[in-house]
Structure 1
Amino acid sequence: MTFPGGGGGAAFTGGKAGASAHPFAGVPPEMRPGVERLLETEPEHPDPEVVFEHGTPDPDGAGLSLRRLVRPYGALALLAGVLVIVEAVTLQAGPLLTQIGIDDGITAKDFGVLVVVAGVYLVNLVVTGLTQAARVKVTGRIAAWVMNDLRVRVFTQLQRLSLSFYTGEKAGVIMTRMTADIENLQALLQEGLVQFAIQGLTMVIVSVVLFTYDVELALITIVLVVPVMTAMSLWFRRASAKGYLRVRDATADVIADLSESLQGVRVVTAHNRQRRNAEHHRQVTGGYFDASLQTGRINSIYTPGTQVVGVAGQIVLLAIGAGMVTDGTLTIGELVAFLLYLGSFFQPIQQLVQQYNTYQQGQSSVVKLRQLLSTRPEVAEAPGAVDLPRVEGEITFEDVSFGYLPDRPVISDVSLEIRASETVAFVGPTGAGKSTLAKLVTRFYDPSAGRILIDGRDLRDVRIESLRGQLGVVPQEPFLFAGPLRDNIRFATSDASDDRVWEAVRAVGLDEVVERLPDGLDTVVQERGQSLSSGERQLVALARAFLAQPRVLVLDEATSNLDLRSEARIESALDVLLEGRTAILIAHRLSTAMKADRVVVVDEGRIVETGSHDRLVAAGGAYARMYATWTSQAAEAG
């Protein structure tokens, strides 16, 4: 059984020691063996239900709140509430026992009473300790399960969102949602809310006890202290809410800048940007520093201020109480107990200050997570979308227009028909819209006007999963995941046998590369495939597409990163791969376009020419000029 979501992302897996190198939040090292023994006796927690349908958004994203997060574990929350009440009551038994000991034991010189009071005090301490231990176990279990469920929900939402979300949001900011924000919520659920309840109950219990001891002193306490404390607390509530929201945003900026710098470390190193990047990061962290200073200033005013008010109140009440003892209206034990309870009345207020910081951080995280979970993908699946049956591969563009920004169209009024099993090459200058057309076919984006059909079906009317299950995409810069090379090849077909994997490897000419690797297909490629050359990564992407056997294939200049020898080696493999399939080639090298059944010339978001290579060359238009330039450059290079 796995309980993820501990402090710093720690986890205890199966109750085995050393399952994680990170500390388990809130549990000191000397207590971990006991925690592990408790976890071994835990019942299996069912895996959280993963709700992932392109047409089904997060079931409760827009209404995310602490109450709704805890609702599935209502029975445990009720048990925690009972334990909190018991803990709050037993914690306040000390002053009462002290008063009895002074008045009925010391003053009356009755040693037996002192023995009984001491025994009751000891039993109360044991009960308090056991109650606290049980409460920590229950709240820790609730926090771990809630965070486990929430991490799955957030990750599932990230899988659901469209590409436009990721182009408009920094990766580091997204990582903050999964790390710092969820960890803040865990701290709030595990201890923050509990301490809120305990300290709040303590104030209620102490207030009742103070009035039972002496109504006059209790009223003086309320008149002198409570109004000032209330005013200061209201100010702190408003100021700290703004401050901690600013801290959350600054934290996201720091992580985003760090993530971007790490991902671009090669470029940074190549261009000697280390010093300038360090200066820029100092400015980013300066924003976090300023936000932290703001919250620090707020705390520096509130915490000492409440302490001064509390001490001043105790001094005044001590003077008044001493006079009442002299008059005989109050016993010494009652005065001592009253002052002890008065300290217990002020202490929760100061404790609530610290817990309110945790609460504000948690609430800020709830706001950020609610925004993420309520985000709807721009490429939405229609409520009545149906599964796309096996397609022949006929693709139709009908007056399609699209722009990544509303006022800047990239594609305008494009109409085109691609026959089933036809290979069409899109050529044109950089930024003409070639790759955008391919992204619209794979439904990474939806047209702002017009429609795209496959076998006569509007792409908006079919389920996205059934569409992409019949599409294969080989991007210009393929992405490899950290893990065995075998898993990267069968990424789209995880159940493929080794025989099929080797068939794909040989088909694209990757076998020589695999045989050179120390562990063959079991060789672990580094993050983003950095242990392989760009050409080798492209071959892996081609093998991945070959293994998936899609009905429609989109190759975004799939051979651009290969040397001439490698390119020649996979030409025959591409012929096999393209056979019987509709293929869209985004071609920068005209040698690729020449092999297509038809060439489509795109310029400034419009189709300016279409036809076979020979026909377009003979026509003497835009393609002929591109071809003449390309052949002259090739001749000069030769």
Structure 2
Amino acid sequence: MSNALPVADIAQVRRYVRELIRRHPRGLAAALGLHALAAGAGLVAPRLLGDLVEGISQGVAATTVDRVVAAIAAFVVVQAVLVRFAHLASARLGERVLAELREEFVDRVLALPLATVERAGTGDLLTRTSRDVAALSRTVRFAGPETLIAALTVLLILGALVLTGPLLALPSLLAVPVLWAGTRWYLRRAPQGYLRENAAYSDITDGISETVEGARTTEALRQAARRRARGDADIRRSYAAERYTLHLRTVFWPVAEFGYLVPMVATLLIGGWFHLKGWASLGQVTAATLYAQQLTDPIERLLGWLDEFQVGGASLARLLGVAAEPDERARASATPDERAAAPGSAGGAGRLAAHDVRYAYRPGHDVLHGVTLEPRPGERLAMVGPSGAGKSTLGRLLAGVHAPSAGTVTVDGRPLAGMPLAELRTHVALVSQEHHVFIGTLADNVAMVRPDADPARVRAALAAVDALDWALALPDGLDTAVGAGGHPLTPAQAQQLALARLVLADPHTLVLDEATSLIDPRAARALERSLAAVLQGRTVIAIAHRLFSAHDADRVAVVADGRITELGSHDELVAAGGSYAALWRSWHG
């Protein structure tokens, strides 16, 4: 998808993995140390068994055989105990790393600019937070520790082979060209294949969520066939992507299986020939063959988890890519000279201004065309106009959600573009038709903007938006649990809750994007009047279709086709007889 969030490159993924390793040196050392001891204990038995075969061929005593068998049994037990503790250490390390990954990913998601989330859509973000996190969880918990164990075991076995007899280590090298060629072929194709597979899942999720959310619209407009066609196309792309990665595995696995069986067969055959030539004893051949046979399991696990690493690596790249998404406000930041010349906010009047701003969701398709608007500090400014005229887009520019493609939006002379988000929200805040009730108490939902607010301030904020009476009437008052699984709130109550948060946040400018659209007109009018009284001396920019908001405003800006066509008070615009007057007469009857 063209609007999908970016994906981190290989260098970024490797840097992050190295950083994770540096964060946990003790845990990693403990896990590797225990696995090394376990692997070392497992290497003793083949050597003892080889010596035993050699001794039996030369007529060793029965008591010696008993002692060797007892020693082998003891080392097997020791290895089993060490393996248990090694796996526990690896699991603890994996869980700590996974917890950090999840926490950091949540931080990255919450730091995403609102404009980025809106542009990317829900499908890609949902897939990353669900499927990619689950895939990475398996990689961190199992693939990482198992790969380290397998690699360490292979090195120790090869070392034991060399110590047993350097010549007997040579047959094992026959597997290297086969495994190297097969692995190289696979690794050159797998990363991009799995990235395409995950992206295809994002498309499916996005299509399904759109279909479910717009089910009534789809039915009313008889668009079911188009939605089915979109779903079928997404599934076909996903099928093709999965078929490609399956093809890679069907080629790689037989090559790999042949490669890791070569050492054992070659050692047995070539070792036997070495014994016939007198270059190796029977005990050495036996031990070397057992060591070569032991190589099969770790190499099989190593190559087996390699595929899982490709899945996990692709998921990690997508998760890290969330942080790589640049904020368009930062991209449009003022130049150093402009920032140096701009006055600070301390003691500012809270004057918000837009000068000759343009904005395009797609390059070359402007939705705002050179708009200039300067709300007066403390005034109530209403923006009205037909749907699609650009009212909400202009409101988002004034709230600092989007940065203009051209022109500037400033507060007290300072560009909003590039201003730290925490500082920006002390100047101007946006509340739209969309609202969310978080899981928790009603009081927590209001106080989330100022966690240090005392109960009196929370009550005052609710009272300001005419919500205190119904809030106190809830089963547990302000301590009533709301949100998913909690006490249900009506759409009007949820909107009042969102407005109460803004009252408590106390910015000097509010942009209300049809914030009272879901409340019946009488309740909305009472709420807006109450809000205006509480916010006296602050700037309120209200975007609405209902003209009672414009009637109560100090000034009205009429937006049409991405331009401000009229600007003035209600009475002035009615007297002018323009488009606003026509709207007013039509609405007022």
Q: Same fold (TM over 0.5)?
A: yes
- Residue in structure 1 matching 2:378, options 397, 421, 439: 421
Once the two structures are superposed, what CA deviation does each residue of 1:211-261 show, in whole Å capped at 9, x if it has no partner? 5555555445534x4433333333333343344333333344444455555
Report what 1:555 is aligned to. Answer: 512
Query: 1:24-72, CA deviations, whole angstroms, 9 ceiling, x for partnerless residues?
Result: xxxxxxxxxxxxxxxxxxxxxxxxxxxxxxxxxxxx9787431122212
In structure 2, how many angstroms separate the alpha carbons of the residues matched to 1:333 and 1:552?
87
Aligned to 1:368: 318
Q: 1:624 aligns with which of 576, 581, 588?
A: 581
Match of 2:118 among 148, 157, 167: 167
SS at match of 1:419: coil
Give the 3 Å change call, closer, same or farther, for CA 262–389 of structure 1 in structure 2: farther
Q: Give the C-alpha shift of residue 165 in structure 1.
A: 1.4
Within 5 A, what are the aligned runs for 1:62-101?
64-101=15-52
| Separation of aligned partners in 2, 1:364 and 1:608 | 50
| 1:119 and 2:76 correspond | no
> In the aligned structure 2, how far is the partner of 1:387 from the partner of 1:155?
32
- One-letter amino acid of the structure 1 residue matched with residue 95 of structure 2: A
| Residue type of the alignment partner of 1:373 | A
Q: Describe the shift of the 1:283–1:452 C-alpha distance in structure 2 as closer, same or farther (beyond 3 A).
A: closer
Hey, what's the Cα distance between the residues in 1 that align with 2:218 and 2:57?
A: 77
Residues 571 and 73 from structure 1, CA distance in 2 versus in 1: closer, same or farther, beyond 3 angstroms? closer
Partner of 1:421, secondary structure, is coil
SS in 2 for 1:410: strand
Aligned to 1:177: 128
Structure 2 residue identity aligned to 1:488 = N
Q: CA–CA distance in 2 between the matches of 1:265 and 1:481?
A: 25
Counterpart for residue 19 of structure 1: none
1:102 aligns with one of 53, 68, 88: 53
CA distance in 2, matches of 1:148, 1:423: 47
- The letter for the 1-side match of 2:497 is V
Deviations 1:271-304 (A, max 9, x none): 9999997886576455445444443343334334
Q: CA deviation at 1:444?
A: 0.6
Question: Among 457, 465, 468, which residue is 2:422 paired with?
Answer: 465
Matched AA of 1:412: H
Quote the Cα distance in structure 2 between the aligned partners of 1:489 and 1:211: 70
Aligned ranges for residues 267-306 of structure 1 at < 5 Å? 284-285=234-235, 287-306=237-256
The higher-RCO structure (CA 8 Å, 6+ apart) is 2
Equivalent position to 2:495, from 538, 542, 567 = 538
Q: Distance in 2 between matches of 1:94 and 1:587?
A: 81
Q: Per-residue displacement from partner, 1:314-357 (whole Å, max 9, x unpaired)?
A: 55654555566567665544333232222223333322220111
Give 1:478's aligned amino acid.
Answer: H
Task: Provide closer, same or farther for how the CA distance between residues 340 and 259 of structure 1 changes in structure 2, counting only shifts above 3 A.
Answer: farther
SS in 2 for 1:233: helix
> Are residues 208 and 483 of structure 1, via their aligned partners in 2, closer, same or farther at CA, if it must alter by over 3 Å?
closer
Deviates more, 1:132-141 or 1:587-596: 132-141
Q: Match of 2:452?
A: 495
Contact 1:61/1:374, CA 8 A, preserved across alignment: no
Count matched residues: 572
2:476 to 512, 519, 529: 519
Q: CA deviation at 1:187?
A: 3.6
> Is the Cα–Cα contact under 8 Å of residues 390 and 470 in structure 1 kept in the other structure?
no
Is 1:482 the counterpart of 2:439? The answer is yes
Question: What code does the residue aligned with 2:93 have?
Answer: I
Q: Deviations over 1:507-555 (max 9, x none)?
A: 3222453355433333333349993332222222233333333321222
The 3-state SS of whatever aligns with 2:365 is: coil
SS at structure 2 position matched to 1:418: coil
Deviations 1:470-491 (A, max 9, x none): 3343312333223322222333
Take 2:459 and 2:208, find their aligned partners in 1: how far apart are those partners? 39
Moved more, 617-626 or 71-80: 71-80
Q: Say whether 1:134 aligns with 2:85.
A: yes
Partner of 1:344: 294
Q: CA RMSD in A?
A: 3.5
1:167-213 deviation per Cα after TM superposition (whole angstroms, max 9, x unaligned) = 22232422333444344444434443443333334434444444555
Find out whether 1:450 has 2:407 as its counterpart. Answer: yes
| CA separation of 1:508 and 1:529: change in aligned 2, threshold 3 A | farther
Alignment of 1:403-414 (within 5 A): 403-414=360-371
2:95 counterpart (144, 154, 165): 144
The answer as to whether partners of 1:202 and 1:344 remain within 8 angstroms in 2 is no
Cα distance in structure 2, aligned partners of 1:597 and 1:246:
54
**In structure 2, what is the Cα distance between the partners aligned to 1:175 and 1:469?**
30
TM-superposed CA distance for 1:405, in Å, is: 2.2
Shift of 1:603: 1.5
Q: Secondary structure at the match of 1:373?
A: helix
**Matching residue's letter, 1:116:** R
Deviation sequence 1:95-141 (CA, Å, 0-9, x none): 11211222225762422222322332233223323432333333333
| 1:229 lines up with 2:179 in the alignment | yes
Distance change >3 Å, CA 552–CA 210, structure 1 → 2: closer
1:318 and 1:338 map into 2 onto residues whose CA distance is 8
Distance 1:550 1:87 in 2: 62
Correspondence 1:584 to 2:541: yes
- By how many angstroms is 1:362 displaced? 2.4
Shift of 1:622: 1.8
TM-score (norm 2): 0.85
Deviations 1:404-459 (A, max 9, x none): 22211122222232222111111122222222222112111112222223233333
CA distance in 2, matches of 1:559, 1:221: 75
Tell me the residue number matched to 2:559.
602
The aligned residue for residue 8 of structure 2 is: none
Show structure 1 runs of 5+ residues with no match: 1-59, 633-638
One-letter amino acid of the structure 2 residue matched with residue 630 of structure 1: W
State how far apart, in whole Å, the 2-side matches of 1:191 and 1:416 are. Answer: 58
Aligned to 1:567: 524
Structure 1 96/440 Cα, relative in aligned 2: closer, same or farther at 3 Å?
same
* 1:339-394 CA distance string (max 9 Å, x none): 22222233333222201112212222232233222222111277879973354332
What is the percent sequence identity of the aligned residues?
32
Aligned residue identity for 1:100: D
Q: Which has the larger displacement, 119-128 or 304-313?
A: 304-313
Deviation at 1:146, TM superposition (A): 2.5
Report if aligned partners of 2:382, 2:555 keep a CA contact under 8 Å in 1.
yes
